[in-house]
Amino acid sequence: MLVEGTLRWRVTEDAPLDLLVGLCLRDLAGLGDAGDPALPEVVPGVSRRSVPSGMLSTRSGTATRRSAVPRAACADAGFGEPDALAEEWTRWWRRAVVQANAVASWSTSFVPPHFAAFDRELALQDLVIDRFDEALEWAIARREEYLADDDAHRADYSADIVDVVRSREHDLRRQAGSFRLDIEVLPLAVPGAWVVGPDTVVVSWSLRDDHEAFRSWFTPIVEALV
């Protein structure tokens, strides 16, 4: 987890385990258009059938296997009506985004075997019970990749944030005012950034690893906040 800032401002970056698990479950059920905004598919992709470990690419590699089950097949798979499942997943995702910034990023609300956190979302609970092991394995692998990359390149990632804020302060001839931004860095198939909460943005790994592109995106954000 990367934290940069002062007493006045703070920017955090992380890849919370619950968000990784949730996105994997979404794609396993073929709910690619669930969420507001709907995020791209994850990479490496997942499908209804187990993906051999040799097919899982690393953060710096490419991922081409993205054959999630269509939403129309959710009922046949035993997960209930696809619209109901998508609604339940979206409702949970909103909660998870908020909770991700309030608890340790490695903690989880997915507690087997009954997954009581989903007692009011039975279609989603069925999906979690059925595919949790696969989703957790995928999410742990992605989080380990994220942490390894962060350890290796933390100085560069930190500079992307601090340099932009300091440049803005210099232009304004004053220190930055009070603001907070939480960046969830997630393995998504399409480069980009998506606002998912009042102070929270999801950024794809591909955008975060492109330092020039990240600074170009981050600069107008800072200009609006400072």
Longest dimension (CA), the chain: 62
Q: Is 42 exposed, middle or buried (0-12, 13-18, 19+ CB in 10 A)?
A: buried
Minimum mean pLDDT range among 10-19, 28-37, 77-86, 168-177:
77-86
Please check the confidence at residue 86 and state whether its pLDDT lies above 70: yes
- pTM for the model: 0.84
The residue with tokens 């955008």 is 207
According to DSSP, the residues that pair with 166 across neighbouring strands are: none
Tokens representing residue 211 in the block: 């330092």
Arithmetic mean of pLDDT, 134-141: 97
Please check the confidence at residue 65 and state whether its pLDDT lies above 50: no
Please check the confidence at residue 75 and state whether its pLDDT lies above 80: no
Strands 179-186 and 9-14: parallel
pLDDT tens-place string over residues 140-152: 999 999 999 999 9
Please check the confidence at residue 67 and state whether its pLDDT lies above 80: no
pLDDT tens-place string over residues 9-63: 999 999 999 999 999 999 999 999 999 999 999 999 998 543 333 333 345 443 3
Give every CB contact of residue 126 below 8 A, 6+ residues apart in sequence. 78, 79, 80
Would you say 180 and 8 are in contact if contact means Cβ atoms under 8 Å apart?
A: no
Cα angle 51, 70, 60; round to 5:
40
Q: Can you point out the beta strands (E) in the chain?
A: 2-5, 9-14, 179-186, 193-197, 200-204
Number of H helices, E strands in the chain: 5, 5
DSSP conformation class of 42: B
Would you place residue 82 in the very low, low, confident or very high pLDDT band (cuts 50, 70, 90)?
confident
